[in-house]
Amino acid sequence: MLLQRHVASLGSTCSVAQKNEPLDRRRKLEARITAYENRISVIMKLDDKAQWSIPDGNILCIDLHVAQSLDDLVELYPNEWLVPEKERITLPSSLAPGEIDCLSIEAIARIEAELRKGQVTDSLESLRLALSEKSLCFRTEVRNANSQRTTHRAWDNVHKFDSEARKYRATYRQARGALQRLSIDPEYVGTLQDITDDDFKVAGDLTDERRLGQRSNSLPWFWGFGDSVDSSSPRMQECMYSHCP
């Protein structure tokens, strides 16, 4: 996912070095995926009859025998080359409904579900922190900017934290989708709601720090999710009682 976002951010005017970096990262990622698939195939023992709910992200319509190296394939098939960041990873959540019971891998599915719950918790905590930093930056830097240069710099920081928040939202959505497909602990999954663009705006008036405790009930649901939320921290207070663009 991070590699996908990096490639998308490059645009069409990137330098040669910027173009080569994704190739190197894709080689490393493909090696990690191959090693993982070799291990998981022994654990899950899938066959060609297994049904998948998530299709392969890449369909290779290329002849692997016409090239002797990875660089040859990139040159011969510039528009069809494998992008490992879009590959389907073999996991219980990637299987079609009913396949987990059919293959008797409920224990493995429960392990993935616990890992996904941790992913949800971590991504929401990082999301809250990014939005808090965004709010603090808007309150202390944007409002106090006294020149065009400092204003641009302040807004660049706001956009940086907003981009980080969207990255964590994407991770959360991926974990939530996996939990929904696993159909394990539906009561927990029912507490996970979608996060919209409107949720990135912190509700509240332009108040000072002395007016604490007035707007906490109007914040999006994820601000009160889990036991790890420390609403007494300075950054959380800034986010709760400041105005975000």
Residues 129 and 235 in one domain: yes
- Is residue 243 over pLDDT 50? no
CB 182 within 8 A of CB 91: no
- Return phi, psi of residue 12, to 5°: -100, 0
pLDDT confidence of 171, banded at 50, 70, 90? Answer: very high
Q: CA-CA-CA-CA torsion for 174, 176, 181, 185, nearest 10 degrees?
A: 150
Selection from 226, 224, 144, 245 nearest residue 236 by Cα: 224
Distance CA 149, CA 102 (A): 62
For the ranges 17-26, 112-121, 125-134, 234-243, the lowest mean pLDDT is seen at: 234-243
- Return phi, psi of residue 66, to 5°: -85, -5
Residues 190 and 139 in one domain: yes
DSSP per position, 119-133: HHHHHHHHHHHHHHH
CB 182 within 8 A of CB 166: no
Q: How far is CA 127 from CA 26, 54, 92, 161, 179, in A?
A: 27, 26, 26, 9, 19
Distance CA 166, CA 120 (A): 14
AA letter at 135: S
Residues 121 and 210 in one domain: yes
In a domain, 7, yes or no: no
Strand partners, 52: 95
In a domain, 97, yes or no: no
Residues 180 and 137 in one domain: yes
pLDDT at 207: 33
In a domain, 22, yes or no: yes
- Is residue 192 over pLDDT 90? yes
Read off the pLDDT of each residue in 239-244 and give the average, rounded to a whole number. 45
In a domain, 245, yes or no: no
More confident residue, 123 or 37: 123
Q: Which of 30, 56, 90 is at the close of a domain?
A: 90
What is the tens place of the pLDDT at every residue in 82-98? 567 677 788 999 999 99
Q: What percent of the chain has pLDDT over 70?
A: 64
In a domain, 9, yes or no: no
pLDDT at 180: 94
Residues 117 and 151 in one domain: yes
Residues 45 and 154 in one domain: no
Residues 85 and 135 in one domain: no
CB 57 within 8 A of CB 87: yes
Residues 130 and 231 in one domain: yes
Residues 113 and 85 in one domain: no
Q: Which of 31, 56, 90 is at the close of a domain?
A: 90
pLDDT confidence of 115, banded at 50, 70, 90? Answer: very high
- Is residue 6 over pLDDT 60? no
- Is residue 148 over pLDDT 60? yes
Which residue in the block uniquely carries the two structure tokens 């300075």?
234
In a domain, 98, yes or no: no
Residues 77 and 115 in one domain: no
- Return phi, psi of residue 29, to 5°: -65, -40
Report residue 148 as tokens.
Answer: 């065009």
- Is residue 159 over pLDDT 80? yes
Find the DSSP H helices in the chain: 2-10, 16-44, 70-76, 99-103, 106-137, 148-182, 186-189, 234-240
Range of the domain at 83: 16-90
Number of domains in the chain: 2
Residues 236 and 187 in one domain: yes
CB 95 within 8 A of CB 51: yes
Distance CA 133, CA 162 (A): 9
In a domain, 39, yes or no: yes
Report residue 8 as tokens.
Answer: 């998308």
pLDDT confidence of 123, banded at 50, 70, 90? Answer: very high
pLDDT confidence of 5, banded at 50, 70, 90? Answer: low
pLDDT at 201: 77
Q: Which of 56, 90, 124 is at the close of a domain?
A: 90
Distance CA 61, CA 40 (A): 26
Which residue in the block uniquely carries the two structure tokens 């601000």?
223
In a domain, 8, yes or no: no
pLDDT confidence of 165, banded at 50, 70, 90? Answer: very high
Residues 112 and 232 in one domain: yes
More confident residue, 51 or 55: 51
For the ranges 21-25, 138-142, 155-159, 170-174, the lowest mean pLDDT is seen at: 21-25
